[in-house]
Structure 1
Amino acid sequence: MIILASKSASRRAMLDAAGVEFEAVPAKLDERAVEARIEGCTPGEIAEALSVAKAQAVASEYRGRLVLGSDSLVVCDGQRFDKPTSRDNAAGHLRFFSGKVMELHSAAAIVRDDTCEWSAQSLAQLHVRDLSEVFIEFYLDAEWPEIGYCAGAFRIEAMGPQLFEQIEGDQFTVLGMPLLGVLGALRELGELPS
């Protein structure tokens, strides 16, 4: 049984649906400190480095176990957006995204002890429709505070699809983890039947 170094409901749901047995142990990690050490990297590289760091943080306490870490980050018009810190902050994100293409970078890593056994990143491009102030308030009435835990201020498994005209990329990337790659790596590592 692997360990998922995350408290993300969508990542847990993906693994459950795929039939992967796991135990969830959220990583305790200063993400900004990790990012400071890798300044100048691309958004995908940052998401991948954070995935590795999360997995390593948990693997250090669970020797011999495979630990899966994952991270997602959003970039729009060259600007990075973290999880919204308040309802007003989420509204500001949505106003900025309106009519633009949001890039969602998702990554995952599998670590055992001090070794990263596998890591990968994926990209989805989400074309945000023009959002009215009325819609933004309606959306936040329904989705806040849950979207406060989500990069991009949306949950694709909830009302998030109402934000978009088009999505390019696989559904697992949009949900926050490149699941097909994870499953392939788990098969190669002998954790799943091939």
Structure 2
Amino acid sequence: MSKLILASGSKVRATLLAGAGLDFSVRDSGVDEDAVKRLFRGPVDEAGTDALALELAMAKAAAVSHGEHDAFVIGADQILSCEDMRFDKPRDMDEARANLLKFRGRTHILHSGVVLARAGMVLWSFSDRARLTMRDFSDGFLDTYLARLGEKVKTSVGCYQLEGPGIQLFEKIEGDYFTILGLPLLPLLAELRRQGVALA
């Protein structure tokens, strides 16, 4: 089997790949995500945000695969959009609270992009969206939620993990579970099998 590398420091993505039974290593891409976002010229709509998520994923995969010519490299990224605004991971608890108040009672979109690269060339790319509607939770619930999770809310762009207390923020979820976690896993596994990286 060919060598497989995940160009991401995301523990969730690594857990998903390990859970699928893949043998891989992890390399930090070192990509300046803010610089990629500043240089991106696409529109601030759903299609443009899909394209930006893929642009970030491609940058990560290409950066690692340039130095690992014989390896297949997975790059992935996720962006949250809500009413034509894009959101990054909160920098502190105050920003997490402000973001959750913006999402409250509204539908936001998670745009997840994944690419497979080798020797600096992108071999395959895929993007997907999930739509999540937060319920109109009370201020008291929000206070309790933030106190319970603490600094963990800063580890995800939406300030939640669905596999934990974050599920209580929602009234409706539409989309693939793995896309929500930031790695459209089924299409990726199909491509890895097609490339001979995973058993068919």
TM-score, with structure 2 as normaliser = 0.93
Aligned residues: CA RMSD:
1.1
2:7 to 5, 8, 17: 5
Match of 1:33 among 20, 32, 35: 35
* Structure 2 partner of 1:94: 100
Distance 1:106 1:144 in 2: 25
Query: How far apart, CA to CA, are the structure 2 residues paired with 1:109 and 1:147?
Result: 27
In the alignment, is the contact (CA less than 8 A) between 2:63 and 2:120 conserved in 1? no
Residue 75 (structure 1) aligns with: 81
1:84 is displaced (CA, Å) by 0.4
Aligned residue type for 1:134 = G
2:90 matched residue in structure 1 = 84
Deviation (angstroms), 1:131: 2.1
Provide the residue aligned with 1:174 in structure 2.
180
1:103-118 equivalences under 5 Å are 103-118=109-124
C-alpha distance in 2 between matches for 1:106 and 1:84: 18
8 Å CA contact 2:42–2:51 kept in 1: the answer is: no
Alignment equivalent of 1:127, drawn from 119, 127, 133: 133
2:197 corresponds, among 183, 191, 194, to: 191
Equivalent pairs counted in the alignment come to 194
Question: How far does residue 145 in structure 1 lie from its aligned partner after superposition?
Answer: 1.1
Structure 1: gaps (5+ residues): none
Matches of 1:36 and 1:124, distance apart in 2: 24
Deviation string 1:99-136 (CA, Å, 9 cap, x unpaired) is 00010001101110121011110000001101221111
1:160 equivalent to 2:166? Answer yes
Query: Which residue identity is paired with 2:118?
Result: R
Alpha-carbon distance in structure 2 between the residues aligned to 1:116 and 1:28: 18
Contact 2:8–2:29 (CA under 8 A) maintained in structure 1: yes
